[in-house]
């Protein structure tokens, strides 16, 4: 019965003149009696790249011996031919590499060679004993210079206390909670432009966001506290989602890579809707930052945080946020664009620029590739979420090494607070710590908060001088 069905199927297929999976040739064409390759060898530069190999043979080709640094994408096997795309990643080592790959098609075998030049030799970063004396913006406002100078004075002496504003909105609820518990306010308060697309919310909404109301930041600054802003940058996943957002429907927005297909490379290309969108958002953020400038409030400014995500440790370009998904080079271009626009076009001279290093263990060779450079960064931050309160030597060393010691370093976010006394005892000159939220980290107990805010190693708002 099986033979009868097979005969009928073959007859119908021959009548329809369509190929079958076992015979990808036009009807009547005989299978080739040899295996041919379009090239015998491929040479990639140290930066990697793509190449195309065409294989012709009687059976679908099988490749063995493919090295881990090369990926192969198969095209359709048709007319006894298959096109394969070879993609080499960047060579992080200073040694060239070479592999022989075997291609098998039926009873035939052939080989080709893939090789890659050595990676670029890393230029040692000059290490200095003291951090840079001046901000990278030569036209920085005096209040921004005052903040920077004060942080340099405190570096290695004490750590400033800090907390993210409650609900990441513009209020001082978190500051007040710490004060109600300990009798002292954190010295640094951080706010987030995460709700930028909603600001100002339309009349009649059940909740309100208006970054035009800077009363929280103003209150903190006037009480001698330091003001910081970050930006979970929500973007539309399509042009239609952007249009919907203009009408108050933001369901098509997101900032995690998994939630949006927004393309950073297109966003950096003039004439695209993505470029038009980011320029409009930058202009909107600039307007809110200018309100702070006009009040004489300097801002510790930390955009594009955790840009690299987890580097390539857990898979190729596993960045958490869309601004890191395109890799290091586009992200650095976006950082430069932000500086050019905010400082150059919009005249914001009140910003202290903080780059957040994602110190993922195992990705040490990649840290510097993402760094915008000492001429574009004032302070290097590390976001640390650990299940202990010990001093973080590995992260500290990575942060200092990134700039060659030119930049102050800080714990720009944390869950459980690394013990400032332990950090200073280990000769770690963290500038401040900033707790992400008040309730989520079990080691930040009420007693620990009281110990932190009473410690001689910690600066609270009550211990801050006026930096106006």
How many whole angstroms from its chain centre is CA 85?
A: 28
Return the SS3 of 6. helix
Strands 188-192 and 70-74: unpaired
Structural contact between residues 335 and 326, judged by C-beta atoms closer than 8 angstroms: no
Is there a catalytic annotation at residue 306?
Answer: yes
Is there a catalytic annotation at residue 239?
Answer: no
User: Could you give the CA distance from residue 245 to residue 235 in angstroms, rounded to a whole number?
Assistant: 10
CA distance to 193, 391, 417, 419, per residue, from 443 (Å): 28, 14, 8, 11
Cβ within 8 Å of residue 359, ≥6 positions away: 367, 382, 384, 394, 395, 398, 399
CA atoms 302, 305, 307, 311: torsion sign: positive
Find residue 414's DSSP bridge partners: 384, 435
Structural contact between residues 307 and 358, judged by C-beta atoms closer than 8 angstroms: yes
Active site residue: 90, 274, 306, 343, which one? 306
Active site residue: 90, 274, 343, 413, which one? 413
Return the SS3 of 84. strand
User: Could you give the CA distance from residue 367 to residue 130 in angstroms, rounded to a whole number?
Assistant: 21
Give catalytic residues, as residue numbers.
306, 413
């Amino acid at each position: 019965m099986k033979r009868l069905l097979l005969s009928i199927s073959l007859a119908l297929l021959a009548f329809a003149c369509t190929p079958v999976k076992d015979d990808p040739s036009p009807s009547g064409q005989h299978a080739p009696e040899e295996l041919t390759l379009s090239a015998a060898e491929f040479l990639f530069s140290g930066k990697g790249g793509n190449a195309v190999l065409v294989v012709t043979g009687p059976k679908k080709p099988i490749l063995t011996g493919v090295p881990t640094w090369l990926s192969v994408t198969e095209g359709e096997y048709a007319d006894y031919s298959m096109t394969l795309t070879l993609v080499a990643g960047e060579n992080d080592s200073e040694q060239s590499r070479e592999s022989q790959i075997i291609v098998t098609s039926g009873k035939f075998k052939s080989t080709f060679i893939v090789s890659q030049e050595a990676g670029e030799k890393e230029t040692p970063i000059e290490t200095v004993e003291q951090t840079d004396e001046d901000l990278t913006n030569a036209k920085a406002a005096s209040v921004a210079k005052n903040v920077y100078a004060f942080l340099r004075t405190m570096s290695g002496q004490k750590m400033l206390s800090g907390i993210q504003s409650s609900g990441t909105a513009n209020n001082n609820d978190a500051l007040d909670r710490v004060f109600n518990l300990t009798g002292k306010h954190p010295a640094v308060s951080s706010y987030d432009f995460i709700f930028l697309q909603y600001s100002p919310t339309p009349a009649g909404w059940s909740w309100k966001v208006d970054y035009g109301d800077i009363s929280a930041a103003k209150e903190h600054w006037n009480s001698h506290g330091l003001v910081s802003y970050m930006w979970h940058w929500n973007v539309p996943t399509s042009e239609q989602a952007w249009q919907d957002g203009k009408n108050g429907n933001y369901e098509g927005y997101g900032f995690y890579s998994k939630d949006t297909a927004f393309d950073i490379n297109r966003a950096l290309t003039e004439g695209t809707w993505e470029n038009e969108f980011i320029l409009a958002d930058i202009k909107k953020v600039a307007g809110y930052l200018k309100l702070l400038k006009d009040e004489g409030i300097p801002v510790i400014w930390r955009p594009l945080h955790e840009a690299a995500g987890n580097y390539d440790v857990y898979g190729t370009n596993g960045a958490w946020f869309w601004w890191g998904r395109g890799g290091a080079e586009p992200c650095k271009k976006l950082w430069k664009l932000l500086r050019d626009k905010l400082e150059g076009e919009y005249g914001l001279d009140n910003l202290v620029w903080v780059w957040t290093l994602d110190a993922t263990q195992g990705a040490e060779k990649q840290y510097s590739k993402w760094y915008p450079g000492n001429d574009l960064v004032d302070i290097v931050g590390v976001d640390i979420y650990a299940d202990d309160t010990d001093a973080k030597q590995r992260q500290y060393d990575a942060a200092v090494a990134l700039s060659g010691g030119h930049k102050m370093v800080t714990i720009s976010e944390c869950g459980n607070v690394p013990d400032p006394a332990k950090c200073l005892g280990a000769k770690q000159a963290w500038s401040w710590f900033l707790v992400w939220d008040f309730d989520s980290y079990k080691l930040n107990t009420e007693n620990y908060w009281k110990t932190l805010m009473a410690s001689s190693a910690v600066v609270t708002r009550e211990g801050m001088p006026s930096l106006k």
